Copies of this chain bind each other. A is one copy, B any other.
Amino acid sequence: MLANSDLALRLFLQLALILTVGRLVGWLARLIQQPQVVGEMIAGILLGPSLFGWVWPAAQGWLFPGQSMSLLFGLSQVGVALYMFLVGVEFHTGLLVGRLRRAFSVSLAGTLVPLALGAGIGYGLARQPGLFGAKAHPNDAALFLGTALAITAFPVLARIIQTRGLAGTPLGTLVLAAGAVSDGAAWCVLAVVLATLDHSWLLAAKAIGGAGAYAALVLTLGPKVFGRLNRQAERGGGVSQPILATTLLLVLLGAWFTDAIGIHPVLGAFLLGAAMPRGVLSRELLRLLEPVTVVLLLPLFFVYSGLNTRLDLVNTPTLWSITVLLLAAACVGKGGACWLAARFHGEEPRAALAVGTLMNARGLMELIIANIGLQRAIIQPPMFSMLVTMAIVTTLLATPAFEWVYGTRARRAGLLGPAV
Protein backbone atom coordinates (compact mmCIF):
# COMPACT_ATOMS: atom_id res chain seq x y z
CA MET A 1 0.00 0.00 0.00
CA LEU A 2 1.38 3.37 -1.01
CA ALA A 3 0.80 6.30 1.35
CA ASN A 4 -1.23 9.28 0.11
CA SER A 5 1.95 11.35 -0.01
CA ASP A 6 3.65 8.75 -2.24
CA LEU A 7 0.63 8.68 -4.53
CA ALA A 8 0.66 12.49 -4.75
CA LEU A 9 4.38 12.41 -5.55
CA ARG A 10 3.71 9.81 -8.24
CA LEU A 11 0.82 11.93 -9.57
CA PHE A 12 3.13 14.90 -10.25
CA LEU A 13 5.42 12.61 -12.22
CA GLN A 14 2.56 10.89 -14.07
CA LEU A 15 1.08 14.23 -15.12
CA ALA A 16 4.52 15.47 -16.21
CA LEU A 17 5.19 12.36 -18.29
CA ILE A 18 1.70 12.31 -19.82
CA LEU A 19 2.05 15.97 -20.79
CA THR A 20 5.48 15.44 -22.31
CA VAL A 21 4.75 12.28 -24.30
CA GLY A 22 1.34 13.60 -25.39
CA ARG A 23 2.81 16.86 -26.72
CA LEU A 24 5.76 15.09 -28.31
CA VAL A 25 3.74 12.49 -30.20
CA GLY A 26 1.11 15.14 -30.96
CA TRP A 27 3.85 17.28 -32.49
CA LEU A 28 5.09 14.33 -34.58
CA ALA A 29 1.50 13.75 -35.70
CA ARG A 30 1.20 17.35 -36.83
CA LEU A 31 4.45 16.99 -38.80
CA ILE A 32 2.67 14.42 -40.98
CA GLN A 33 -0.44 16.61 -41.25
CA GLN A 34 -2.38 14.70 -38.61
CA PRO A 35 -4.45 16.36 -35.87
CA GLN A 36 -2.94 16.52 -32.38
CA VAL A 37 -5.64 14.15 -31.09
CA VAL A 38 -4.26 11.28 -33.19
CA GLY A 39 -0.86 11.77 -31.58
CA GLU A 40 -2.34 11.82 -28.11
CA MET A 41 -4.33 8.64 -28.69
CA ILE A 42 -1.13 6.95 -29.80
CA ALA A 43 0.81 8.46 -26.87
CA GLY A 44 -1.69 6.85 -24.50
CA ILE A 45 -0.99 3.45 -26.00
CA LEU A 46 2.77 4.00 -25.89
CA LEU A 47 2.61 4.62 -22.12
CA GLY A 48 0.52 1.49 -21.53
CA PRO A 49 1.33 -2.22 -21.51
CA SER A 50 1.56 -2.25 -25.31
CA LEU A 51 4.93 -0.46 -25.38
CA PHE A 52 6.29 1.07 -22.14
CA GLY A 53 4.99 -1.84 -20.05
CA TRP A 54 6.26 -4.35 -22.58
CA VAL A 55 9.75 -2.86 -22.89
CA TRP A 56 10.25 -2.03 -19.20
CA PRO A 57 7.50 -3.54 -17.05
CA ALA A 58 9.14 -2.66 -13.73
CA ALA A 59 9.34 1.07 -14.49
CA GLN A 60 5.84 1.15 -15.94
CA GLY A 61 4.46 -0.66 -12.89
CA TRP A 62 6.30 1.73 -10.57
CA LEU A 63 5.08 4.84 -12.35
CA PHE A 64 1.48 3.66 -12.78
CA PRO A 65 0.79 1.46 -9.72
CA GLY A 66 -2.65 -0.20 -9.55
CA GLN A 67 -3.57 2.04 -6.64
CA SER A 68 -3.17 5.19 -8.72
CA MET A 69 -5.62 3.95 -11.36
CA SER A 70 -8.65 5.18 -9.38
CA LEU A 71 -7.07 8.64 -9.22
CA LEU A 72 -6.30 8.71 -12.95
CA PHE A 73 -9.75 7.37 -13.74
CA GLY A 74 -11.52 9.96 -11.58
CA LEU A 75 -9.48 12.81 -13.05
CA SER A 76 -9.93 11.57 -16.62
CA GLN A 77 -13.70 11.37 -16.09
CA VAL A 78 -13.80 14.96 -14.86
CA GLY A 79 -11.62 15.93 -17.82
CA VAL A 80 -13.69 14.20 -20.46
CA ALA A 81 -16.93 15.54 -18.95
CA LEU A 82 -15.55 19.09 -19.04
CA TYR A 83 -14.36 18.54 -22.60
CA MET A 84 -17.74 17.25 -23.77
CA PHE A 85 -19.37 20.22 -22.07
CA LEU A 86 -17.14 22.51 -24.14
CA VAL A 87 -17.96 20.50 -27.29
CA GLY A 88 -21.60 21.10 -26.45
CA VAL A 89 -20.95 24.82 -26.00
CA GLU A 90 -19.34 24.97 -29.46
CA PHE A 91 -22.16 22.94 -30.99
CA HIS A 92 -24.10 25.18 -33.41
CA THR A 93 -27.64 23.91 -33.78
CA GLY A 94 -28.15 26.95 -35.97
CA LEU A 95 -26.03 25.29 -38.66
CA LEU A 96 -28.74 22.71 -39.25
CA VAL A 97 -31.23 25.28 -40.55
CA GLY A 98 -31.49 25.29 -44.33
CA ARG A 99 -29.49 22.13 -44.89
CA LEU A 100 -31.63 20.04 -42.65
CA ARG A 101 -32.92 17.55 -45.21
CA ARG A 102 -29.58 16.78 -46.80
CA ALA A 103 -27.82 16.61 -43.43
CA PHE A 104 -30.55 14.42 -42.04
CA SER A 105 -30.36 12.09 -45.00
CA VAL A 106 -26.55 11.79 -44.84
CA SER A 107 -26.57 11.25 -41.11
CA LEU A 108 -29.42 8.76 -41.26
CA ALA A 109 -27.55 6.67 -43.81
CA GLY A 110 -24.30 7.15 -41.88
CA THR A 111 -25.95 5.91 -38.70
CA LEU A 112 -28.30 3.15 -39.83
CA VAL A 113 -25.95 1.33 -42.22
CA PRO A 114 -22.99 0.98 -39.82
CA LEU A 115 -25.43 0.31 -36.96
CA ALA A 116 -26.97 -2.58 -38.92
CA LEU A 117 -23.56 -3.85 -40.06
CA GLY A 118 -22.12 -3.65 -36.57
CA ALA A 119 -25.20 -5.28 -35.05
CA GLY A 120 -24.98 -8.14 -37.54
CA ILE A 121 -21.30 -8.68 -36.81
CA GLY A 122 -21.98 -8.34 -33.09
CA TYR A 123 -24.63 -11.07 -33.21
CA GLY A 124 -22.27 -13.29 -35.15
CA LEU A 125 -19.36 -12.76 -32.75
CA ALA A 126 -21.36 -12.67 -29.52
CA ARG A 127 -20.35 -16.20 -28.55
CA GLN A 128 -16.76 -15.91 -29.80
CA PRO A 129 -14.55 -16.21 -26.68
CA GLY A 130 -12.71 -13.15 -25.38
CA LEU A 131 -14.67 -10.46 -27.18
CA PHE A 132 -17.79 -9.69 -25.19
CA GLY A 133 -18.51 -9.83 -21.48
CA ALA A 134 -19.93 -13.02 -20.02
CA LYS A 135 -23.01 -11.18 -18.76
CA ALA A 136 -23.65 -9.32 -22.03
CA HIS A 137 -26.62 -10.70 -23.94
CA PRO A 138 -26.12 -11.08 -27.75
CA ASN A 139 -28.58 -8.17 -28.12
CA ASP A 140 -26.26 -6.01 -26.00
CA ALA A 141 -23.24 -7.15 -28.00
CA ALA A 142 -25.03 -6.37 -31.26
CA LEU A 143 -26.28 -2.92 -30.27
CA PHE A 144 -22.99 -1.99 -28.64
CA LEU A 145 -20.90 -2.93 -31.66
CA GLY A 146 -23.42 -1.20 -33.90
CA THR A 147 -23.00 2.00 -31.89
CA ALA A 148 -19.22 1.64 -31.96
CA LEU A 149 -19.33 1.50 -35.76
CA ALA A 150 -21.93 4.27 -36.14
CA ILE A 151 -20.25 6.90 -33.97
CA THR A 152 -18.58 9.98 -35.49
CA ALA A 153 -15.80 11.96 -33.87
CA PHE A 154 -17.77 15.17 -33.96
CA PRO A 155 -15.06 17.23 -32.17
CA VAL A 156 -12.27 15.95 -34.47
CA LEU A 157 -14.42 16.58 -37.51
CA ALA A 158 -15.26 20.06 -36.30
CA ARG A 159 -11.58 20.77 -35.75
CA ILE A 160 -10.50 19.54 -39.20
CA ILE A 161 -13.20 21.61 -40.87
CA GLN A 162 -12.31 24.66 -38.82
CA THR A 163 -8.55 24.45 -39.34
CA ARG A 164 -8.98 23.85 -43.10
CA GLY A 165 -10.99 27.03 -43.37
CA LEU A 166 -14.15 25.19 -44.42
CA ALA A 167 -16.28 26.29 -41.45
CA GLY A 168 -18.61 28.54 -43.43
CA THR A 169 -18.66 26.59 -46.71
CA PRO A 170 -21.59 24.40 -47.88
CA LEU A 171 -19.43 21.30 -47.50
CA GLY A 172 -18.30 22.21 -44.00
CA THR A 173 -21.82 23.02 -42.88
CA LEU A 174 -23.20 19.79 -44.32
CA VAL A 175 -20.57 17.63 -42.65
CA LEU A 176 -20.89 19.40 -39.30
CA ALA A 177 -24.66 19.12 -39.29
CA ALA A 178 -24.63 15.49 -40.42
CA GLY A 179 -21.94 14.63 -37.88
CA ALA A 180 -23.94 16.22 -35.09
CA VAL A 181 -27.19 14.44 -35.97
CA SER A 182 -25.36 11.15 -36.45
CA ASP A 183 -23.56 11.46 -33.15
CA GLY A 184 -26.74 12.38 -31.34
CA ALA A 185 -28.46 9.29 -32.75
CA ALA A 186 -25.54 7.02 -31.85
CA TRP A 187 -25.46 8.33 -28.29
CA CYS A 188 -29.20 7.68 -27.99
CA VAL A 189 -28.68 4.08 -29.06
CA LEU A 190 -25.84 3.79 -26.58
CA ALA A 191 -28.05 5.21 -23.85
CA VAL A 192 -30.62 2.50 -24.63
CA VAL A 193 -27.89 -0.17 -24.54
CA LEU A 194 -26.68 1.09 -21.17
CA ALA A 195 -30.19 1.45 -19.85
CA THR A 196 -31.23 -2.09 -20.75
CA LEU A 197 -27.88 -3.65 -19.92
CA ASP A 198 -28.87 -5.19 -16.61
CA HIS A 199 -32.10 -6.60 -18.04
CA SER A 200 -33.90 -5.04 -15.13
CA TRP A 201 -36.94 -3.02 -16.14
CA LEU A 202 -36.55 -0.93 -13.04
CA LEU A 203 -33.00 0.09 -13.93
CA ALA A 204 -33.90 0.62 -17.58
CA ALA A 205 -36.88 2.76 -16.60
CA LYS A 206 -34.66 4.74 -14.24
CA ALA A 207 -32.10 5.31 -16.99
CA ILE A 208 -34.52 6.13 -19.82
CA GLY A 209 -36.93 8.07 -17.63
CA GLY A 210 -34.08 9.88 -15.92
CA ALA A 211 -32.40 10.75 -19.21
CA GLY A 212 -35.69 12.01 -20.65
CA ALA A 213 -36.38 14.12 -17.58
CA TYR A 214 -32.79 15.43 -17.60
CA ALA A 215 -32.95 16.33 -21.31
CA ALA A 216 -36.31 18.05 -20.86
CA LEU A 217 -35.08 19.98 -17.83
CA VAL A 218 -31.76 21.02 -19.40
CA LEU A 219 -33.23 22.02 -22.76
CA THR A 220 -36.02 24.11 -21.19
CA LEU A 221 -34.33 25.59 -18.12
CA GLY A 222 -30.73 25.52 -19.39
CA PRO A 223 -31.06 28.40 -21.88
CA LYS A 224 -32.81 30.50 -19.23
CA VAL A 225 -30.22 29.87 -16.51
CA PHE A 226 -27.30 30.34 -18.87
CA GLY A 227 -28.99 33.34 -20.44
CA ARG A 228 -29.09 34.95 -17.01
CA LEU A 229 -25.46 34.10 -16.33
CA ASN A 230 -24.63 35.44 -19.79
CA ARG A 231 -26.26 38.79 -19.02
CA GLN A 232 -24.30 38.92 -15.76
CA ALA A 233 -21.11 38.18 -17.68
CA GLU A 234 -21.96 40.91 -20.20
CA ARG A 235 -22.54 43.45 -17.43
CA GLY A 236 -19.37 42.44 -15.59
CA GLY A 237 -17.30 42.37 -18.76
CA GLY A 238 -16.32 38.70 -18.39
CA VAL A 239 -16.74 35.52 -16.42
CA SER A 240 -16.43 36.29 -12.71
CA GLN A 241 -15.58 33.65 -10.13
CA PRO A 242 -19.23 33.18 -9.03
CA ILE A 243 -20.30 32.68 -12.66
CA LEU A 244 -17.49 30.20 -13.27
CA ALA A 245 -18.32 28.37 -10.04
CA THR A 246 -22.02 28.15 -10.95
CA THR A 247 -21.23 26.81 -14.41
CA LEU A 248 -18.77 24.22 -13.10
CA LEU A 249 -21.30 23.21 -10.46
CA LEU A 250 -23.95 22.61 -13.12
CA VAL A 251 -21.52 20.56 -15.22
CA LEU A 252 -20.53 18.45 -12.21
CA LEU A 253 -24.14 17.89 -11.19
CA GLY A 254 -25.18 17.06 -14.76
CA ALA A 255 -22.30 14.62 -15.12
CA TRP A 256 -23.09 13.09 -11.74
CA PHE A 257 -26.80 12.73 -12.49
CA THR A 258 -26.44 11.07 -15.89
CA ASP A 259 -23.75 8.82 -14.40
CA ALA A 260 -25.90 7.94 -11.37
CA ILE A 261 -28.95 6.94 -13.44
CA GLY A 262 -26.75 4.61 -15.48
CA ILE A 263 -26.15 6.59 -18.66
CA HIS A 264 -22.77 8.37 -18.81
CA PRO A 265 -21.33 11.64 -17.49
CA VAL A 266 -20.31 12.84 -20.95
CA LEU A 267 -23.95 12.82 -22.11
CA GLY A 268 -25.07 15.03 -19.25
CA ALA A 269 -22.16 17.41 -19.74
CA PHE A 270 -22.59 17.63 -23.51
CA LEU A 271 -26.32 18.34 -23.32
CA LEU A 272 -25.72 21.06 -20.77
CA GLY A 273 -23.17 22.71 -23.05
CA ALA A 274 -25.52 22.46 -26.02
CA ALA A 275 -28.19 24.26 -23.97
CA MET A 276 -25.97 27.32 -23.55
CA PRO A 277 -26.91 30.24 -25.79
CA ARG A 278 -24.07 31.90 -27.70
CA GLY A 279 -22.69 35.04 -26.09
CA VAL A 280 -20.05 36.50 -23.83
CA LEU A 281 -20.45 33.57 -21.43
CA SER A 282 -19.96 30.79 -23.98
CA ARG A 283 -17.04 32.60 -25.65
CA GLU A 284 -15.27 33.37 -22.37
CA LEU A 285 -15.85 29.90 -20.93
CA LEU A 286 -14.28 28.33 -24.01
CA ARG A 287 -11.33 30.69 -23.75
CA LEU A 288 -10.94 29.99 -20.03
CA LEU A 289 -11.57 26.26 -19.75
CA GLU A 290 -10.52 24.80 -23.08
CA PRO A 291 -6.73 25.26 -22.76
CA VAL A 292 -6.39 23.54 -19.37
CA THR A 293 -8.92 20.86 -20.30
CA VAL A 294 -7.26 20.06 -23.62
CA VAL A 295 -3.67 20.37 -22.43
CA LEU A 296 -3.82 18.81 -18.97
CA LEU A 297 -7.01 16.80 -18.40
CA LEU A 298 -7.88 15.22 -21.73
CA PRO A 299 -4.46 13.53 -22.18
CA LEU A 300 -5.23 11.71 -18.90
CA PHE A 301 -8.21 10.13 -20.60
CA PHE A 302 -6.10 9.00 -23.55
CA VAL A 303 -3.52 7.55 -21.21
CA TYR A 304 -6.14 5.84 -19.06
CA SER A 305 -7.47 4.25 -22.27
CA GLY A 306 -3.94 3.36 -23.33
CA LEU A 307 -3.21 1.72 -19.99
CA ASN A 308 -6.17 -0.57 -20.63
CA THR A 309 -5.19 -1.24 -24.24
CA ARG A 310 -3.26 -4.46 -24.75
CA LEU A 311 -2.49 -4.83 -28.40
CA ASP A 312 -0.62 -8.04 -27.54
CA LEU A 313 -3.98 -9.64 -26.72
CA VAL A 314 -4.96 -9.42 -30.38
CA ASN A 315 -2.57 -12.25 -31.17
CA THR A 316 -4.28 -14.96 -33.22
CA PRO A 317 -5.17 -15.08 -36.93
CA THR A 318 -8.85 -15.18 -35.87
CA LEU A 319 -8.52 -11.99 -33.83
CA TRP A 320 -6.51 -10.29 -36.57
CA SER A 321 -9.23 -11.21 -39.07
CA ILE A 322 -11.92 -9.84 -36.78
CA THR A 323 -9.98 -6.59 -36.42
CA VAL A 324 -9.71 -6.23 -40.20
CA LEU A 325 -13.37 -7.17 -40.62
CA LEU A 326 -14.46 -4.55 -38.09
CA LEU A 327 -12.28 -1.88 -39.68
CA ALA A 328 -13.59 -2.66 -43.15
CA ALA A 329 -17.19 -2.71 -41.93
CA ALA A 330 -16.64 0.61 -40.15
CA CYS A 331 -15.11 2.35 -43.19
CA VAL A 332 -17.47 0.91 -45.79
CA GLY A 333 -20.57 1.12 -43.61
CA LYS A 334 -20.03 4.67 -42.44
CA GLY A 335 -17.93 6.27 -45.16
CA GLY A 336 -19.66 4.43 -47.99
CA ALA A 337 -23.18 5.13 -46.77
CA CYS A 338 -22.47 8.83 -46.25
CA TRP A 339 -20.87 9.08 -49.68
CA LEU A 340 -23.87 7.47 -51.35
CA ALA A 341 -26.37 9.62 -49.49
CA ALA A 342 -24.45 12.78 -50.41
CA ARG A 343 -24.27 11.72 -54.06
CA PHE A 344 -27.98 10.95 -54.00
CA HIS A 345 -28.65 14.51 -52.87
CA GLY A 346 -26.62 15.89 -55.75
CA GLU A 347 -23.28 16.65 -54.10
CA GLU A 348 -20.47 16.46 -56.63
CA PRO A 349 -18.34 13.25 -56.45
CA ARG A 350 -15.38 14.89 -54.74
CA ALA A 351 -17.47 16.61 -52.06
CA ALA A 352 -19.43 13.40 -51.45
CA LEU A 353 -16.18 11.50 -50.91
CA ALA A 354 -14.96 14.17 -48.52
CA VAL A 355 -18.20 13.88 -46.56
CA GLY A 356 -17.77 10.11 -46.29
CA THR A 357 -14.13 10.41 -45.27
CA LEU A 358 -14.72 12.95 -42.54
CA MET A 359 -17.80 11.21 -41.14
CA ASN A 360 -15.71 8.05 -40.86
CA ALA A 361 -13.28 9.57 -38.31
CA ARG A 362 -14.14 8.16 -34.88
CA GLY A 363 -11.38 9.63 -32.70
CA LEU A 364 -12.10 10.39 -29.09
CA MET A 365 -15.75 9.29 -29.29
CA GLU A 366 -14.79 5.70 -30.07
CA LEU A 367 -12.43 5.74 -27.10
CA ILE A 368 -15.23 6.97 -24.85
CA ILE A 369 -17.55 4.23 -26.07
CA ALA A 370 -14.86 1.56 -25.78
CA ASN A 371 -14.14 2.67 -22.21
CA ILE A 372 -17.83 2.55 -21.32
CA GLY A 373 -18.01 -0.96 -22.78
CA LEU A 374 -15.02 -2.14 -20.80
CA GLN A 375 -16.13 -0.45 -17.59
CA ARG A 376 -19.63 -1.96 -17.85
CA ALA A 377 -18.21 -5.39 -18.85
CA ILE A 378 -20.00 -5.41 -22.21
CA ILE A 379 -16.68 -6.10 -23.93
CA GLN A 380 -13.40 -7.73 -22.95
CA PRO A 381 -9.85 -6.39 -23.31
CA PRO A 382 -9.15 -7.84 -26.79
CA MET A 383 -12.29 -6.20 -28.22
CA PHE A 384 -11.37 -3.00 -26.35
CA SER A 385 -7.98 -3.04 -28.04
CA MET A 386 -9.64 -3.58 -31.45
CA LEU A 387 -11.93 -0.60 -30.91
CA VAL A 388 -8.98 1.57 -29.87
CA THR A 389 -7.22 0.49 -33.06
CA MET A 390 -10.35 1.39 -35.02
CA ALA A 391 -10.47 4.79 -33.33
CA ILE A 392 -6.89 5.54 -34.34
CA VAL A 393 -6.99 4.12 -37.87
CA THR A 394 -10.24 5.82 -38.92
CA THR A 395 -9.00 9.13 -37.51
CA LEU A 396 -5.59 8.68 -39.15
CA LEU A 397 -7.31 8.07 -42.49
CA ALA A 398 -9.55 11.12 -42.34
CA THR A 399 -7.04 13.89 -42.99
CA PRO A 400 -4.99 12.34 -45.83
CA ALA A 401 -8.12 10.93 -47.47
CA PHE A 402 -9.77 14.31 -47.26
CA GLU A 403 -6.64 15.98 -48.66
CA TRP A 404 -6.49 13.46 -51.44
CA VAL A 405 -10.11 13.72 -52.58
CA TYR A 406 -10.64 17.39 -51.93
CA GLY A 407 -7.30 18.92 -51.20
CA THR A 408 -5.63 19.71 -54.49
CA ARG A 409 -8.41 21.84 -55.87
CA ALA A 410 -9.27 23.37 -52.54
CA ARG A 411 -5.66 24.27 -51.86
CA ARG A 412 -5.37 25.82 -55.28
CA ALA A 413 -8.46 27.88 -54.52
CA GLY A 414 -6.86 28.97 -51.24
CA LEU A 415 -9.54 27.28 -49.20
CA LEU A 416 -7.25 25.11 -47.10
CA GLY A 417 -5.30 26.57 -44.23
CA PRO A 418 -2.21 24.96 -42.69
CA ALA A 419 -2.66 21.59 -41.02
CA VAL A 420 -3.19 21.78 -37.26
Interface of A toward B, CB cutoff 8 Å: 4-5, 7-9, 11-13, 15-16, 19-20, 23, 27, 36, 67, 69-71, 73-75, 77-78, 81, 239, 241-242, 244-245, 248-249, 252-253, 255-256, 259-260, 265, 288-289, 291-292, 294-296, 375
Pairs A–B under 8 Å by Cβ, sample size 16: A5-B73, A7-B73, A7-B74, A9-B259, A11-B74, A11-B78, A13-B256, A15-B252, A19-B245, A19-B249, A20-B249, A67-B70, A70-B71, A71-B74, A75-B75, A239-B291
Q: Is the CB of A19 within 8 A of B252?
A: yes
A173–chain B nearest beta-carbon distance, Å = 26
A316–chain B nearest beta-carbon distance, Å = 29
What are the residues of chain B within 8 A of A249 when measuring CB–CB? 16, 19-20
Q: Is the CB of A12 within 8 A of B256?
A: yes
- Chain B, Cβ-Cβ closest to A19: B249
What are the residues of chain B within 8 A of A245 when measuring CB–CB? 19, 23, 295
What are the residues of chain B within 8 A of A256 when measuring CB–CB? 9, 12-13, 16
What are the residues of chain B within 8 A of A260 when measuring CB–CB? 9
Q: Which of A77, A265, A294 has the most chain B CB atoms closer than 10 A to its own CB?
A: A77
- Chain B, Cβ-Cβ closest to A375: B5
What are the residues of chain B within 8 A of A7 when measuring CB–CB? 70, 73-74
Assembly CA distance A289 to B287 (angstroms): 11
Tell which of B71, B242, B375 touches A71, judged by Cβ atoms closer than 8 Å: B71
What are the residues of chain B within 8 A of A70 when measuring CB–CB? 4, 7-8, 67, 70-71
Q: Is the CB of B375 within 8 A of A241?
A: no
Q: Is the CB of B291 within 8 A of A241?
A: yes
- Chain B, Cβ-Cβ closest to A240: B291
What are the residues of chain B within 8 A of A19 when measuring CB–CB? 245, 248-249, 252
What are the residues of chain B within 8 A of A265 when measuring CB–CB? 8, 12
What are the residues of chain B within 8 A of A23 when measuring CB–CB? 242, 245
